[in-house]
Every structure is written in C-alpha cells, then in structure tokens.
Structure 1
Amino acid sequence: MPSKSEVLLSLLKGQKVIPVLKIDDIAHAVPLARALARGGLPMIEITLRTGAAMEAIRRVAGEVGEAIVGAGTILNARQFDEAAKAGSQFIVSPGLTRDLLAAADGSAVPLLPGAITPAEIMLAGEAGLDFLKFFPAEQAGGAAFLKALASPFAGTRFCPTGGINVRNAGDYLALPNVACIGGSWVAPDDLVKAGRWDTIEMLAREANALGQR
C-alpha cells in the first residue's frame, strides 16, 4: 500500500507549479480554477486565509471536475476535518502538530505539512512523512538552504512556497529534492478581482512550461 506521501506525489502528475490561492469573493472560485486547469495547472491550493475559502473549496470540488483542489493554511484537526468534508483532495499545513498527525492518520486525505529545520524534518520522517512543505522558503534560507538539506535527507522531497516567483522559480526546480513549488504569482489578486481569466490562463501556461524545462 502506498504511503500518504506517495499518494500526494501521485496527485501531482508531473505538475511542478502549484498555484497558492487566496479567494476573497466566492464567485471567483470556479472560473479561477477552470482558467488554471486550462493553462495546465489543475492542482491548486486554496488557503484558509479568508472567510470564503471553505465554500470556495466546496464549489471547486463540486463543479470543476478537472481540478485537484487542496486546502492550505490548515492549523488544527478541526480545520483538517472540515476541509476534507468540503472536498479537499489534499491538506497543506505550515507546520506539524500531534493533533494534525492524528487527523491525518484517521483520514484518507494526504497531508503536506511544513518543516524547515532538521529536527522538524526528522520528526516528520518518524511519522512516515517524507514529502514536506518548506515555508516560508525565501525567508528561511531559500534554494541554497534546501540544496544543503539534500544530502542528509536524501529520501525527503519538498514543495517550497513563500517568496517564490517567476524570477527565482528555476533555482528551486533545479534542486533534486524539490518535487514542486507553490506560488501566488500565477493568479495575482488584481487579475482575480478583475476577472481576467484569459490572462491568468496565460500565466498558468507560462508557469507550466517553466516546470517542464
């Protein structure tokens, strides 16, 4: 039976850039997800940073069959359970706690927890988690720090997010221990608020091409 980390990696299907989305207006959720999927980025993370986030996950899960929607900024077991019931196919957390581990153990929905320090990575490994979020990536040491982790933690792969954009994305994607990156530049707030779905689709295509180099 594949591990939860293997299940999560399989959801990627080669996608190297995961849009990290903050949705303020629920009406934007479905057209945004569809635009990103058309651009080659069907796997998206909707962060629980707004009051519309959970309903956005429900709508995307129910109406956009081509999307693989996950919930981000999950901080506790209650949010984990609520996001899973809303239709999240994966859960992203900035860190790892005993309560989150217990929630993940009792659910078929895989968890992508955050880990930065060697101690945090080792604790995640003891829990059977070897695919981790590295956040905030730039502020925590960036690509150089992740490169230094590749040797002592050869079996661990990361999805760095935080401060990543089109200019430095290639630095991360070139690392052997990076499976994908997360970023908000693919769907900037101003374009989402203006409903510029064609432009967002174009940005998604460019990001997808960046990941295939």
Structure 2
Amino acid sequence: MTPQDASKRAREICGLAPIVPVLVVNDVTHARPLAEALVAGGLPALEVTLRTPAALDVIAEMAQVSGGVVGAGTLVTPQDVKNAKAAGATFGVSPGATDALIDACEAEELPLLAGAATATEAMRLLERGYDMLKFFPAEASGGAPALKAIGAPLPQISFCPTGGVSPQNAASYLSLPNVLCAGGSWVAPSAMVTAGDWAGIEALAKEARLLGA
C-alpha cells in the first residue's frame, strides 16, 4: 500500500463521523455490544487501543459487527502492526511515527493514522507521502490554537486531534479547516462499559455525532 493510498483510506475513515471513539476494553465479552451501540449511535469508526491483554480479541470481535470499521490504536512496533492486521483491524493509529512502523504498515497494507505533535513531525510524514495525520497529544500540545497555527503553513495536511478532546472543546477542533474528525474516549466511559449500559453509550454516541453538524 502506497502512502497516498493509505492517506486516502484514512481520510475516508475519518470522514465517516466527527468523533472516533478511542476504546480501552478489558473484557472481550463487552466488545460486540459496545461496538453495536457505538455504530447504532452513528460512530462507525472505532479505535481499539492495544493497552489491555484483551485488545486483539476485542478487535476480532468488533470486526464482525455490521457497519463498523475497526482499527487498532497505540501501534508502536512492527509486531503490533502484524498482530493488529491478523486480528482484523482495517486501519491503524499510532501516537507517533517511526520509519520501521510506517514500513510495517505499508508491508501489511494497513492504512496508518500516524501521530504528529509539531510542524517538523508533520512535515516529515508529508515528505513520506502522508497527509492525513493524528495530532497527539492534542490538548497538551497547545490544543486547537496550536493546530490552527500548524495548518496555516501546511494547509495540505489534515488531522484527527486526540488526547484531551472532550464534549466541551471538540467543537473548537472540528471548526478548523484542517480537522476532519477528533478522537475521544468520553463516548464509552469505563463505568458504563462495565455496567453494560449500551443504551447509555448509544445516546452518548448520538450526541457526539451532532458535534460535527
């Protein structure tokens, strides 16, 4: 997969909804109903972070949910990429980017939303052919004002800000011309997931869907 094809597919995925749920799932039995609730609420692109022992099994379960597009977050090593692809992930998300990680994603034909926090990092990824990136950690890196400033000299790059994005500040990011969507964890609070409150999570997803209106 070429960087151009990867970025095109990443753009398509980011264009599905204004918010991409960032999910930390500990129990695989929660995977399918959680994905179904989020998709029903209008958030089909799901990022399952590789932060729990169950993550790969969760990806495999969610990949079977109709209407969902499941990706793996927290890709750090080439082995992460291979594991995620084998589990059924159709895109990857990384906190940063290394040549080894990018090479692995291209070899596995896994579209990558690579992380960048500075103009230099963004330019390096653009140099490799990637123009759809993750801005991370968004709030700690200056928030919407910083991303707006980066966009002025680099208008050809689009971003999905993640890290500290909330219902209170999401609109400030989504209003920027260089932002296609934002990543957020608030649509699937751990307490609601543990309690199996799928109706509540679907309601949160529906509210998040309206943020891009």
Same fold (TM over 0.5): yes
* 1:59 positional shift: 1.0
- Establish whether residue 161 from structure 1 lines up as the match of residue 162 from structure 2: yes
Partner of 2:199: 198
Runs of 4+ in structure 1 off by over 2 angstroms are 11-14
- Match of 2:53, SS state, is coil
Q: How does 1:29-48 map to 2 (within 5 A)?
A: 29-48=31-50
Query: In the aligned structure 2, how far is the partner of 1:180 from the partner of 1:13?
Result: 7
Query: In the aligned structure 2, how far is the partner of 1:95 from the partner of 1:8?
Result: 16
Partner of 2:5: 3
Query: In the aligned structure 2, how far is the partner of 1:3 from the partner of 1:74?
Result: 19
Matched residue type, 1:10: E
Partner of 2:137: 136
Partner of 1:21: 23
* 1:3 positional shift: 2.3
Query: In the aligned structure 2, how far is the partner of 1:14 from the partner of 1:74?
Result: 22
- Match of 2:139, SS state, is coil
Matched residue type, 1:171: S
Matched residue count:
211
Matched residue type, 2:152: S
Does the CA-based 8 Å contact 2:14-2:160 persist in structure 1? no
Query: In the aligned structure 1, how far is the partner of 2:96 from the partner of 2:211?
Result: 28
* 1:66 positional shift: 1.4
- Match of 1:167, SS state, is coil
* Structure 2: tracts of 5 or more residues without a match: none
Matched residue type, 1:89: T
Query: In the aligned structure 1, how far is the partner of 2:13 from the partner of 2:162?
Result: 18
- TM-score normalised to the size of structure 1? 0.96
Query: In the aligned structure 2, how far is the partner of 1:96 from the partner of 1:132?
Result: 10
* Structure 1: tracts of 5 or more residues without a match: none
Query: In the aligned structure 1, how far is the partner of 2:181 from the partner of 2:86?
Result: 26
* 1:13 positional shift: 4.2
- TM-score normalised to the size of structure 2? 0.96
Query: In the aligned structure 2, how far is the partner of 1:149 from the partner of 1:115?
Result: 11
Partner of 1:188: 189
